[in-house]
Amino acid sequence: MILTVGLAKGKDGARAPRNGETGAGPVRRVTRARNVGAPPAAVWKVLSDFGGIARWAPNVDHSCLVSEQADGVGAVRRVQAGRTVVVEHVGTWQPELMLSYTIEGLPEIVGTPSNTWIIRPDGDGTSVSVLTDIDASRPVGRIVAVWLGHRMGRASTAMLAGLANHLEERP
């Protein structure tokens, strides 16, 4: 497993803007990665069942779609993990390559974090990475972003393990 934590910045030292973003400032990025013993198509099939994350992620108690759209950019799901409830909006949908979504419902001081899942063929299996970006542009936000980055990193590690277990246990 790979762990990276840091600030994502562009060439000029400013944070690279994301779709729909107007402000600038540093972003705390937490990256987790794992090899999965399944082909990219199988990994995508599980990830693209956007409302079905509770079936394979051990840290998710409940999930459901809250949009009529079940897949693609614009799909929205509600996720409950313990007492935490968030709403996730798909912003990037590239079959067998990448899925990203924003996460609403966390402390306002960290803005709207996002997760990006990257899928790459790796021998007989697949390398799967989760990149979590958290707004750290305000001084107090930086402190909260460090704490939240650790929590979201642990959640990503659990989701990657659950994804691998789900795919590797199937015949």
Residue with tokens 């939240």, as numbered in its chain: 148
Torsion angle in degrees (nearest 10) through CA of 103, 104, 107, 108: 110
- The two counts, helices (H) then strands (E), for the chain are 2, 8
Distance CA 143, CA 138 (A): 9
Q: Structural domain of residue 141, as residue ranges?
A: 28-48+92-168
Q: Is residue 61 part of a domain?
A: no
* Residue 121: per-residue pLDDT: 97
* Residue 25: per-residue pLDDT: 54
Q: Is residue 35 part of a domain?
A: yes
* Residue 18: per-residue pLDDT: 38
Q: In the predicted model, what is the mean pLDDT of the chain? A: 86
Q: Is residue 101 a contact partner of residue 94, using CB atoms and an 8 Å limit?
A: no
Is a pLDDT exceeding 70 seen at residue 45? yes
Length of the chain: 171
> In degrees rounded to 5, what are phi and psi of residue 63?
-150, 150
Percent of the chain with pLDDT over 90: 69
What would the pLDDT profile of 46-103 be if each residue is shown by its tens digit?
A: 999 999 999 999 999 999 999 999 999 999 999 999 999 999 999 999 999 999 999 9
> In degrees rounded to 5, what are phi and psi of residue 82?
65, -130
Sign of CA dihedral 80, 84, 85, 90: negative
Q: Is residue 78 part of a domain?
A: no
Q: Is residue 21 part of a domain?
A: no
* Residue 108: per-residue pLDDT: 82
Q: Is residue 79 part of a domain?
A: no
Q: Is residue 57 part of a domain?
A: no
Q: Is residue 142 part of a domain?
A: yes
Please name which of 2, 90, 6, 108 lies closest in space to residue 48, comparing C-alpha atoms. Answer: 90
Query: What is the CATH number for 42?
Result: 3.30.530.20
Q: Is residue 11 part of a domain?
A: no
User: How many domains does the chain contain in total?
Assistant: 1
pTM (predicted TM-score)? 0.84
40-45 average pLDDT score:
98
136-141 average pLDDT score:
76
Provide the token pair at 47: 């990830």
